[in-house]
Structures are given as C-alpha cells and as structure tokens.
Amino acid sequence: MSNLLQTYTALSSSSSRAEVSTALENIIDGPPSSLDTTSRKELIQTLLDDLKTCNRGNGNKSRLVINDAAKAILAVKMLGKVPAGSEVIATPANLSILLALSTSLKNDPRATTEALRCVANALLLIDTARDTWVDKQVGGGGACIDLLDKSTTPDQIFVASRILFLCTVSSASSAFIQSLVENKHGSSGTAVDIIGAKLDILTNSILSGTRMSREAMTDTLKLTFNLLVHYPKVQELNLKGKAKDTGDENDTKVMGDYWSPKLSPVLPPLLRAFKSLPPSSPAPLASPLAEIIHSLITIPFSPPLRSIWFGHSPSSSGRPSLSSLGGTKSPQPGSSDSSYPGPSKEKPGPMDRALSALTAGRRSLSRAPSPTAPSNLDIVQRVHDLLDVSTSHYLPGAIDPDDHSVSEICKAEGESSLDDILAPLVMLMTRLALADDGAKVKIRELLLPADLDRTRSLESREDLLGRCLRLLASIHHARLKDAIGEMLFAICDSDGESPLIFAGTKHQAEVLFSQRLLMSAPTQPSNATLVTPSGAAINPITGTIQEPLVPSDMTDEEKEREAEKLFVLFDRLEKTGALRPDQNPIRKAAAQGRLG
C-alpha cells in the first residue's frame, strides 16, 4: 500500500479539517509515479465513495464534509489523468456520483466544474465511457445539454461542450446525436439553437478578452462540427431504412453534400463569428478560427441558405463566363476570328494537347467593368484577407513553399503541416466561387486585378497571387497544391478549354495537371494575342509583358558551336535512357527537315 493511500484511509470522520486538507493536497501534488496501479484505483474508489456519502448529508460517516468536496474532486481528477485511473471513474456508478455532485454543489462552482472535468478526462481516455455517460442509466447527455443551455461563463461552456463533443465524435452515437438535434431542451430549443446562442456570447467574450473564452468556443465548434457531419447522414440512413449500407448513390457524396434544414440555425452565428474574430498571433488561423472554417465547409449553398451566405436571393441571370469578362482580342496579322488553323500533321503528345487547350481562345485582359453583383460579398473579402495574411505568415517574401524553414514555422506553432492549416480555407474560397457568380468574379478581381504589374514573373511576386502560383509547383504540400489548383480552376468556370488567361500557359498547365486534366484536347485554338489594358503584349507562357526580341550578336561560328553542344547533350541524354528518342528535339527537327 502506498503512503498516499495509507495516509488517506487512516483518516476518519473525527479527523481534523487540517489533516484531511493536507492528505488531499498531497494526493493532488503527488507525481504519477507515487502510486502503483492497484493503489491508484483503490484510492479513487475510496474518494468517490466518501464524496457520495458526504453529498447525501452523512458527513458523520465520511472522512469528508461538504467543504472538502472541491479539493477531493480535484484529487480524483489528478488521479484519473492516466487510463488506469479513468477506468475506475468510467463505471456507471462512479459517473453517476460525479453527475450528482455536479448538480448538487451548485453553490460551489469550482466543485461543479471539477466534477465535470473528471468526467471529460474519463471520456477522453476510455471510449466506452462515452456511451455509458449518455445511457439512461447515467443520463449525463441530457444533463450536459441543460448545463450548456444555462451556462453563462466560458468555464462552464467549455466543460459542457467538451463532454458533448466527446460523446458525438463517432456516428455510432447516432441516437444521442439525433436527440440533440431533434428534441427541444427547455425553452431554448434544440441543441443547434443553444449552440448558436453560445457562439454569439463567446464571440463577444473573445473580443473583450475574457479568460477561457477561446478555449470554450473551440470546443463548442468541435461539437458543432460533429453534429454538422454526422446528423445529416444519420437522418438519411433513417429515411432509407438502412442500418449499415448507404448504397451506391451515397458513395459519391462528400462532405457538404449531406445536409438537414434542422442544422440551418447554426450558420448565422458561425458567419458572425467568422467575420468578427481577428486573426490570432503569431499563427493567424489558430483556434477558434480554424474550427469555424472546418464547420463552414460542411454547410452547402442550397437556395434556402444562399441568402444567409451572401445576403441575397439567388440570381436569375446566367452564369458569367470568362469570355463575357474579356475585352477585345488582338488578332495576329492575316488571321480572322472565325478561322482556326487545322490539325497538325504530327499527332500531338499529351503535353502538346494540354498546352493547346490552355492557349485556345486567348483573350485580352482589357476587361469591361464587372456588373454590379447582387451579393453581399463580405464573406469573400474576409476569406481572401485571411488567406492573404496566413500565407504571408508561413510563406514570407518570395520563399519557396518547399523550403525547410516553412515546415519549421509550422512545427514551432504546434501544427503538423501547411496542408492542415491552409487547405480548409482554400477549400472554402473554392466553394464560394462555385456557389455564386458574383463571388467568383470578386475572387478573380482580388487575385488578378486588371492593373496587375506584369513587368516581372508572376510567381516571384510577394503577394497572394505569387504564393498561390509557387504552391502549384510544390512537392511537399500535395493537398494544399491540389486545393489551390481547384480554386484557380473554379474561378475559370471549371472549364479545361477556357485558359487561365491571367497567369500564362505555364501556370495554366499546372492548374490543369492538379485537376487531372493534362490530357484535355484542344477544341477551338485561336491566334489571338494577350494584351494589357494599355495595349502591351503579354507573354503567353509567363503571363508577363512581352519584351521585344533583342537581335543576337553571336557570330555564325559561335551559333554553330552552341548548336553542337546541344546536339551532344541531347544525344547523351538519349543514350543514357533519360530521354526517349521520340522526345529528342534534335531528332524531331531533323525528321521535319528543319535542320537545313
């Protein structure tokens, strides 16, 4: 028997309060190694039994009195921080004791909170305890939602939300999840209504700097995310009458495709929090902003919700395409808008076809003024600003996204990768572009304004556009790279035949490749030339202003020597197997009779 257990069990109802307090403090302050597993379990059970006796008013039979409750519960919490201790707490009888303490000790908020923290720790460490807690035998689920409804401080909201979050992590808790969303709890409505009210309270608390408000909102948002993800699936399963298999039709659905109108009341407070909370420091997308974004990307843009997202009714006008935003073409001499070159005699390879698709229908960047969008595009501006400040934090200057220092910044801030941090925000911007024409135009104007400085390469820019283009060539951030490609593809009407006229075919190829459209074949090639609003020609490959060609000052002998070097280089690459014969440009030129 350990000293801590022996000291505590030696106490009696006649022991002085000082002796009891000292014994409890020694348990609280004792290192984990001070108790073996058997002694730890026995001490936890003894403490809980004494708390139960004390709570029933039988103080004369217990080592504890009501004033000792807070410290004794804290001792239980400290002992339960390891799985062996939480196994004892996770039994139905002991969970019931802690639930009873949390409701009967209302005059001691510290004791109430510590009792629920004991439960939260047990649910975190012991998965089976989550079902036990919400089971009718304990009834902790209903008690927690009632506590959340009545909570007025961040501490109370935090612990209630943490327990509910843990109880809704898995869709296996479908019955409890369904009861939260569908049943009314008191006069406040369903859990969705209660959560919405608490999000508004916590938004104000964060802005005023109240302690624990960020932590409370983070866990409330985790609970929100669980309900947004699991409840629509649970409802659909119930409607189809299938317990396990959702069928082939649902196999194609992804997050955001499942939805229930019963969850709609949570969108307005989510958007209010998203627009109100400032970026954190040093990491701009730290909690709770990250959790808000995770919740928002699960919510669709269905007609009933569009007025909430954008503050307007769905527009009846047609979808504007890139061509409707373009200005006049600058055709090459001898060409007409209605004539297109015929197919080449040589069968094009995959890259040739992709580049042909990308350069098809080149248009001027002299765009007509965009029509006034009926949308309230504050959400678009907010997403853009957050993405700008976040990417500038992790990718300062013109740094390569694959530079080692980028991952070091993530690790220093406790994040695993840039993919996890930024990809959800990029996904939200993509979904905005796909959902609303005005949002799509706004994003294009923010990323690629008509007066864009094109005197240097676009990927070397130190703004959001430059960072996005550099990410397209990233190796280490695959998910973020694909998300950026999807976003750029979306603002170009999701059309592989419509070139990304703003950034040049080099970046167009990267966008198409990210969307697995490298094999796209050209349909309407054009001889038009890209020009800026001032009329300056744009290099179709780089997207920068086309500099006039400077005549070479090399002599014929020097040109011949350089050509020989290239011939030897490509011949060596072919012989070593690094270059296939049909890809050798020297061999191709000779076959086409272009070598003289």
Q: What is the 3-state secondary structure (H, E, C) of 320-343?
A: CCHHHHCCCCECCCCCCCCCCCCC
Count CA atoms within 13 Å of residue 560 on its CB side. 4
Tell me the C-alpha distance between 481 and 484, whole Å.
5
Q: What is the 3-state secondary structure (H, E, C) of 340-396?
A: CCCCCCCCCCHHHHHHHHHHCCCCCCCCCCCCCCCCCCHHHHHHHHHHHHHHHHHCC
Tell me the C-alpha distance between 296 and 435, whole Å.
14
Tell me the C-alpha distance between 539 and 525, whole Å.
17
Residue-level pLDDT at 510: 53
* Local confidence band at 200 (pLDDT 50, 70, 90 cut-offs): very high
Q: pLDDT tens digits, residue range 140-167?
A: 999 999 999 999 899 999 999 999 999 9
| Residue 483 and residue 489 in contact, taking contact as beta carbons nearer than 8 Å | no
Average pLDDT of the segment spanning 349-361: 36
Average pLDDT of the segment spanning 498-515: 51
Q: pLDDT tens digits, residue range 247-268?
A: 444 455 666 678 999 999 999 9
53: helix, coil or strand? helix
Residue 351 neighbours by CB distance under 10 Å: 13
Residue-level pLDDT at 372: 37
Q: Which residues pair with 545 in a beta bridge?
A: 538
Amino acid at 510: E
In 3D space, the residue among 154, 172, 501 whose CA is nearest the CA of residue 361 turns out to be 501
Residue 193 neighbours by CB distance under 10 Å: 16
Residue-level pLDDT at 365: 33
Tell me the C-alpha distance between 327 and 573, whole Å.
45
Tokens representing residue 156 in the block: 């109370």
Average pLDDT of the segment spanning 347-374: 36
Amino acid at 422: L
Q: Which of 400-404, 443-447, 476-480, 513-517 has the lowest mean pLDDT?
A: 513-517
Q: pLDDT tens digits, residue range 87-145?
A: 999 999 999 999 999 999 888 889 999 999 999 999 999 999 999 999 999 999 999 99
Q: Which residues contact 178 (CB under 8 A, 6 or more apart)?
A: 231, 234, 235, 238
Mutual orientation of helices 464-471 and 437-447 as an angle, nearest 10°?
A: 100
Q: pLDDT tens digits, residue range 255-314?
A: 667 899 999 999 999 999 999 999 888 889 999 999 999 999 999 999 999 999 987 544
DSSP-assigned letters across all residues of 483-499: HHHHHHHHTTTT-TTS-
User: Pick the residue with more confidence: 501 or 521?
Assistant: 501
* Local confidence band at 450 (pLDDT 50, 70, 90 cut-offs): confident
Average pLDDT of the chain is 80
Residue-level pLDDT at 338: 36
